Structure 1
C-alpha cells in the first residue's frame, strides 16, 4: 500500500472515531476505496486530536512489549508539529502574520484544506501511518497472549509521571516523536525509545552529553562522545533578536542535526548522510540534497600546540563550506552562527527558524545535547574505550622514582660533567 493510501486509511479511522465520539469532522470521502479522493478541511483543534490519536496508537503498540509500562500514557506537547502544518497549509499572508512564538495552538480557529494537509504530512511526517500498523499488531498479539494466559494485563490510565524526566531535556517526547516520523530506520526506533521511557532501563540513558550538566565547550563534549562510533542526534537551543512586523524581540529556538557515524576530530567535512531539523517553534526536516557531502565538521585544537600557518576553524559545523557553514558552533559553545540555505548544497533548502532572513545570524547558545542512537552495543563499546583511555592516562601520570635515585651514575650527570669541567682550568688561568 502506498503512503498516500495509508494516510487515507488513517484519516478514515479518525473520521469514524470522531463521528462515534459525537464530533462532526468536515471530511468527505468520495468512495470506500483506499485511494479515493478526500475533500473538505480539518481544523487546528481537530488536527491536534488527530495527532494525539496517532501518538496514543504508537504508545499502545510499543508499550505492550513492556509489562512494566502500566498507566504511562501521557499527551506530549506537539505544538511544533501543529504550527508546521499551519504555516505550510495557510496562504503566505496568514503565515507571515502569525507570530509562532506567541501563538497558542489550542486557540487557533483555522481550517486547513485537506489536500494541503496531506501534502504536508507526506513531506514532513511520512512515517505517521506506522502508528496504525503498530496498534493493530499489538492488539492481535494481546489477543493471542490472552488466549494462552501469558499476556500481562495493562492499564491505560493517564499518568504524567513517566514524562517528567524526559520533558526536562531539550529532546522532549513530542520533539523526539516528530523527528522519528521523518524517516523509517533503526535510528527512528532509537529516537522513539526516548518517547516511551518505560521501554528503557533508565530515563535519558541515551543522553551522552548536555552542556547544562557537563559544561560548555568542545573539550567537555569530546570527553563524553569520544569513542561513540554510531549515529548521534545533536540538539541546540539558542536565542537571538528576531524581526516580526517591524518589531524586534529576543526569541528562543531549537534546531538539531543527525551525524550518521558520530563525531570525528577532523579538519575537513565528513559523513555519508545526515539530516538537519528545525524543531521549535516550528518543525521542519531537511534531508540530503544529493549535490554535496559536507554533512558534518568537528575540529579540536591540535594536540601539543603545533603551529599551523592556516588554522582550521575550531568548533562544530553542518552544511556549507569551511568558513561559510550553514550552521557553526564556536569552540566555547557560546555562539552559534546560522546562514541562509543559499550557502549550502548538502542539505535541502529552508529556514532553520522563523523569519531567519538572508544575512548570517549570530545567536547565544543556551544549551546543547548529544543523544546516542546506536543502542546498547555502541554504548558498551564506548565505555570500554573510555576505560582503556583512562588506564593509559593513569599509566602516563605515574613517575618511576628509580630513575631519580641513581643520579650519580646516570648518563645525564656524565654529560653535565663533560660539558662543565673543560672550562674550569681556563677560568683559573684567567
Structure 2
C-alpha cells in the first residue's frame, strides 16, 4: 500500500488517528485495497485525476418516469465526481498520500451527525452546480462540515438535489452486479419537492398541488428551513452519497480498467416501464426509503431492482389484479409474517364542481408485522404516509399503540349485540379511526389527526380539514418487505392450508364398501337404541 502498518512503532500519530476514524466506519480494508490499486508505485501517491475519474458520473439519454426532465441535470451530474474529489481529497503535493486519502474519506463519509452530512450533500450540489454554470444562491460561512448554510433554494434546485441523490444511489446499487455503467432511470419526485415547498416556502391557501410544475415555481426555500425539513422528513437522503463513495472505492479495480464512460443495459427496460401500472412507482418507493435512518434493503429493491423480476416478487396483493374486497385481500396476505406496505389510491371531488379524477391522491401505511383477524387494535410499530400529490411521513408518537386494525366477519358467532367494524384501519380508536377501509374496498375514510394519538399529527391529503373525508377507492396495493424468508414461509403456509382443505374434501370409498361400516348403519343404530351396551371386540 505504500504506508507503514498502523501497528508499527514508527507510525505517525496523525496516520494512526485517521486510520482509527476510518476503522470505526468499517471501511479501512476497502480504503487500503483502493489505494494499493490506484496509487502510483514510484511516487507512492494517488493522482488526483485518477480519483476524479473514480467518482465520475456520465449518464446520457436515460429512461424517465418524470413528466419533465430539466436538461441542466446532465451538466450537474458530469461535475459531481470532480466536485467530490476537489472538496474532500485535497493533495499537498502532486498527488494524495495515504494519510491524505484516508483523511478525505473521513471528512466526507466518517461518523458524523446527519445534519453535518446534509451540509456535505448541499456543498457537493453547490460545487457541481457552479461548475455546470447554474445560478445558485447558497452561501457557506466556512469550509467546516458543521458550518451555517445561508441563502435559498428554488424548487428546481430541490428537484435536482433529489435527482443527484437518486443517481448516486442508483449507481451504487447497479454496480453491485455490473462493472459497467447501467442505463439511468430518473424517477418522478415532484411529491417530494412539493413537500419541501409546502414546508419551507410561503405559499398561499389557493396553491394548487394537483396542477403545478415544480420546475416553473419561483418561490424561495431558505436553506436553513430546507435542512430542517430534510432532517425531519428524509433523514436517509445522506446515505445515497455515502453508499456511492463506498461502492465506487470498492469497485476501483474494475473502474481502473474502464474509467471512461460506458453504457450497458441491465435487466429488461420494458419491465421497468411496467412500473407505471403500479401505485408504488420508483419515485414513491424512493421517498419511502428516505424516511428510514437505517434504510430497509427490501424498500431499496423496490427503488432499484437488480433483477427485472424482483418487483413482482414483492407484490402481495393488487385489487385490480386479485379482486376487490376484504376476502380477496385476506386470501393473498394471510400467512405473511413480515413488514407490509399498503397503498390506497382514491379520488376527492372538487368543492367547486371540478372533475374528481383530477384530484387523485395516494396514502399508505407501513406495518412491522403481518395482518391478523382481530376485533381490537394491535401491532408494535408502523408509519403512515401521505404519498401523492404531496409527500409526508407520520411516524409513531409513542403515546398509544393502536397501529393496525383488521377484522373479518366472525364465523363462530351467530349474533353479536355490538358488532365491531369489518375492515382495515390505522390509528385512532374503533369507530373513530384515522384511516378506515371498508370490507368491499369501495370507500376509504380519512379523519383528522386529532382523533389519533398513535401516529404523529399532520394532513394525509391536501385540504383535509377537520371533518372526515370519504372517497371512493380506485386501487389498493400491498407490498411485502419481509424478504425471501417471509415469502417462503407464506408459501409453506398456503400449501399446508391447501393440503388440509383437500384432505377434508377427500372421501375414502374403501371405508364405506360394506353396510356394516357405512355411516348410514351407524346412524340407524344410534336412533334405534343409542344407549345400548355393546360387547367390546377383543
TM-score, normalised by the number of residues in structure 1: 0.90
Paired position in structure 2 for 1:267: 375
Q: CA deviation at 1:173?
A: 0.2
Output the CA distance in 2 between the equivalents of 1:194 and 1:130.
17
Paired position in structure 1 for 2:226: 117
Deviations 1:177-234 (A, max 9, x none): 0000011236x32111011122564432100000010001111111111111000000
Paired position in structure 2 for 1:106: 215
Matches for 1:21-420 after TM superposition, within 5 Å: 21-67=132-178, 71-91=182-202, 94-146=203-255, 155=263, 161=270, 163-185=272-294, 188-199=296-307, 201-243=309-351, 249-250=355-356, 251-304=359-412, 306-402=414-510, 404-407=512-515, 410-416=521-527
Q: CA deviation at 1:240?
A: 2.1
Pair 157,223 (structure 1): closer, same or farther in 2 beyond 3 Å: closer
Output the CA distance in 2 between the equivalents of 1:413 and 1:140.
83
Output the CA distance in 1 between the equivalents of 2:528 and 2:264.
86
Deviations 1:270-303 (A, max 9, x none): 0111100000000000000110000000011122
Q: CA deviation at 1:306?
A: 3.5
Q: CA deviation at 1:165?
A: 2.1
Pair 261,367 (structure 1): closer, same or farther in 2 beyond 3 Å: same
Output the CA distance in 2 between the equivalents of 1:156 and 1:47.
29
Output the CA distance in 1 between the equivalents of 2:526 and 2:113.
83
Q: Is the 8 A contact 1:339 1:360 kept in 2?
A: yes
Output the CA distance in 1 between the equivalents of 2:180 and 2:186.
15
Q: CA deviation at 1:408?
A: 6.6
Q: Is the 8 A contact 1:242 1:356 kept in 2?
A: no
Paired position in structure 1 for 2:69: none
Pair 156,358 (structure 1): closer, same or farther in 2 beyond 3 Å: farther
Q: Is the 8 A contact 1:73 1:160 kept in 2?
A: no
Q: Is the 8 A contact 2:435 2:445 kept in 1?
A: yes
Output the CA distance in 1 between the equivalents of 2:160 and 2:362.
24
Classify the secondary structure of the residue corresponding to 1:126: coil
Output the CA distance in 1 between the equivalents of 2:179 and 2:274.
17
Output the CA distance in 2 between the equivalents of 1:338 and 1:154.
49
Q: CA deviation at 1:403?
A: 5.7
Output the CA distance in 2 between the equivalents of 1:273 and 1:18.
40
Paired position in structure 1 for 2:35: none
Deviations 1:118-142 (A, max 9, x none): 1111111111011110110111011
Q: Is the 8 A contact 2:191 2:389 kept in 1?
A: yes
Number of residues paired by the alignment?
A: 412
Q: Is the 8 A contact 1:69 1:198 kept in 2?
A: no
Q: Is the 8 A contact 1:315 1:330 kept in 2?
A: yes
Q: Is the 8 A contact 2:435 2:446 kept in 1?
A: yes
Output the CA distance in 2 between the equivalents of 1:21 and 1:206.
39
Output the CA distance in 2 between the equivalents of 1:81 and 1:74.
17
Output the CA distance in 2 between the equivalents of 1:165 and 1:172.
10
Pair 253,131 (structure 1): closer, same or farther in 2 beyond 3 Å: same
Output the CA distance in 2 between the equivalents of 1:3 and 1:203.
30
Output the CA distance in 2 between the equivalents of 1:347 and 1:232.
17
Q: Is the 8 A contact 2:171 2:181 kept in 1?
A: no
Classify the secondary structure of the residue corresponding to 2:293: coil
Classify the secondary structure of the residue corresponding to 1:11: helix
Q: CA deviation at 1:400?
A: 3.3
Q: Which moved more, 1:170-179 or 1:405-414?
A: 405-414
Deviations 1:363-384 (A, max 9, x none): 1011001100011111111111
Q: Is the 8 A contact 1:26 1:41 kept in 2?
A: yes
Classify the secondary structure of the residue corresponding to 1:135: helix
Q: CA deviation at 1:242?
A: 4.3
Paired position in structure 2 for 1:425: none
Q: Is the 8 A contact 1:257 1:274 kept in 2?
A: yes
Classify the secondary structure of the residue corresponding to 2:457: coil
Paired position in structure 2 for 1:426: none
TM-score, normalised by the number of residues in structure 2: 0.73
Classify the secondary structure of the residue corresponding to 2:504: helix
Q: Is the 8 A contact 1:193 1:200 kept in 2?
A: no
